[in-house]
Amino acid sequence: MKKIAVLTSGGDAPGMNAAIRAVVRTAVFKGMEVYGVRRGFHGLIKGEIEHMDVKSVGEILHRGGTILNTARSDQFKTEEGMGKALNILRVFGIEGLVVIGGDGSFRGALDLSERGFPTVGVPGTIDNDIACTEQTIGFDTAINTVLEAINKIRDTVSSHERTNIIEVMGRDAGDIAIYTGMAGGAEGILIPEMPLNIDNLCRRIIEGRNRGKSSSIIILAEGAGKAMELERIIEEKTGMETRATVLGYIQRGGSPSAADIILASRMGYHAVELLENNIGNRIVAIRENRIVDFDIKEALSMPKKFNQELYDLAQVLSI
Ligand code: F6P
């Protein structure tokens, strides 16, 4: 394979630029031509494709977001949209595609693969909700961003002897909440994978107060509820002044951590190696610190397990 392209799709994530850089520079190193597609599948349909070289990805390693921009595309999900995309790839003579994104993006990658176009997915999303990989690009940076916010909120809740319920992203997964709740010493962690029991949570807050804890922090995964709605309920049930914080989009930005840059670089390199050997229809993953790959359909059918051990440990250590 001598001519490939790369695109970013879905929610952006810190480290995506490191993955783009790895794809471009590995391709150039291997004597391949490489093209960047702007705005994900939306841009692919419109032919927003530009040749890339070593210089195109200079000085982007430290930048969050994606230099190729990203977008969600309903048109790509239609036969007509898919046909236009395949036509554009043919017109440019592109033989393989790297898709950096989350599960929605990988369904697009599967559609292309099923139509005979070699496509490789690289898991880039802060949600860490791609079952085939132990970690997704962006997750490590996002949890460190959240931890910084928790520590700042810890100052004010202890000054006012309050409870603060902090809503974090993650879509339908609780990983951001579990990892940051653990690292931030939260008194409670509410995730979509566990039944929401407000009375149990309020009892923990009251028991903590009776043991001398004058303030509490609760981490709420967005898939488990709305902080603004739970704020009043918790205050009424515990009698403690309660405030809500919705962290929102700061979790998607920022300079990627070293861990994310290294993960993204390793995954991007592996994706190009697969295409170089005419292997498509794969999703790159990390398992026990080894970079591996799975059939896209198989990967998308794997059940997402949440980290029960970490969740349980966090409950013990935050008594
Ligand atoms: O998938 C990443 C993510 O940040 C989710 O955690 C969040 O629910 C969603 O994207 C927000 O989507 P949008 O950027 O389209 O508002």
- Tens-digit pLDDT profile for residues 89-98: 999 999 999 9
Does the CB atom of residue 187 touch ligand 1 within 6 A? no
Nearest CA to ligand 1 atom 11: 11
The answer to whether residues 130 and 276 belong to one domain is yes
Q: Averaged over 219-231, what is the pLDDT?
A: 97
Position 167 scores a pLDDT of 98
The answer to whether residues 246 and 268 belong to one domain is no
Q: State the total domains in the chain.
A: 2
What distance in Å separates the CA atoms of residue 15 and residue 281, rounded to the nearest whole number? 23
Active-site residue (options: 111, 127, 140, 260): 127
CATH number of the domain at 79, please.
3.40.50.450
The answer to whether residues 283 and 148 belong to one domain is no
Does the CB atom of residue 125 touch ligand 1 within 6 A? yes
Percentage of the chain with pLDDT > 70?
100
Q: Ligand 1 mean position to 9 CA, how many Å?
A: 12
Q: Ligand 1 mean position to 14 CA, how many Å?
A: 13
The answer to whether residues 163 and 235 belong to one domain is yes
Residue 73 lies in a domain: yes
Domain that holds residue 26: 3-138+256-301
Residue 229 lies in a domain: yes
Q: In testing the pocket of ligand 1, which one of 107, 126, 172, 176 has its CB within 8 Å of the most ligand atoms?
A: 126
Write the pLDDT tens digit of every residue in 109-141: 999 999 999 999 999 999 999 999 999 999 999
Residue 287 lies in a domain: yes
Percentage of the chain with pLDDT > 90?
97
Which is the closest atom of ligand 1 to the Cα of 171?
A: 8
Q: Averaged over 150-169, what is the pLDDT?
A: 97
Residue 154 lies in a domain: yes
User: Is the predicted pLDDT of residue 184 greater than 90, yes or no?
Assistant: yes
Residue 273 lies in a domain: yes
> CB 238: neighbour CB atoms within 10 A?
19
Residue 306 lies in a domain: no
The answer to whether residues 16 and 130 belong to one domain is yes
CATH number of the domain at 195, please.
3.40.50.460
The answer to whether residues 91 and 187 belong to one domain is no
User: Is the predicted pLDDT of residue 73 greater than 90, yes or no?
Assistant: no
Position 202 scores a pLDDT of 96
**Would you place residue 176 in the very low, low, confident or very high pLDDT band (cuts 50, 70, 90)?**
very high
> CB 63: neighbour CB atoms within 10 A?
16
Q: What is the mean pLDDT of the chain?
A: 97
Answer yes or no: 127 catalytic.
yes
Q: Ligand 1 mean position to 179 CA, how many Å?
A: 18
- DSSP secondary structure, 182-220, as one string: HHTT-SEEE-TTS---HHHHHHHHHHHHHTT---EEEEE
Position 10 scores a pLDDT of 95
Give the amino acid at 136. T
Residue 35 lies in a domain: yes
Q: Ligand 1 mean position to 10 CA, how many Å?
A: 8
Position 312 scores a pLDDT of 95
Position 319 scores a pLDDT of 85
Position 109 scores a pLDDT of 96
Residue 125 lies in a domain: yes
Per DSSP, helices labelled H in the chain are: 16-29, 40-45, 79-91, 103-114, 139-160, 175-183, 198-210, 227-238, 258-276, 296-301, 308-317
Position 264 scores a pLDDT of 98
Q: In testing the pocket of ligand 1, which one of 9, 73, 171 has its CB within 8 Å of the most ligand atoms?
A: 171
The answer to whether residues 168 and 224 belong to one domain is yes
Q: Ligand 1 mean position to 319 CA, how many Å?
A: 32
User: Is the predicted pLDDT of residue 86 greater than 90, yes or no?
Assistant: yes
The answer to whether residues 130 and 277 belong to one domain is yes
Position 137 scores a pLDDT of 98
The answer to whether residues 65 and 166 belong to one domain is no
The answer to whether residues 133 and 218 belong to one domain is no
Number of alpha carbons in the 13 Å side-chain half-sphere of residue 201: 27
Write the pLDDT tens digit of every residue in 274-295: 999 999 999 999 999 999 999 9
The answer to whether residues 131 and 268 belong to one domain is yes
Position 72 scores a pLDDT of 84
Q: In testing the pocket of ligand 1, which one of 70, 128, 169, 222 has its CB within 8 Å of the most ligand atoms?
A: 169
Which is the closest atom of ligand 1 to the Cα of 129?
A: 1
> CB 212: neighbour CB atoms within 10 A?
6
The answer to whether residues 113 and 22 belong to one domain is yes
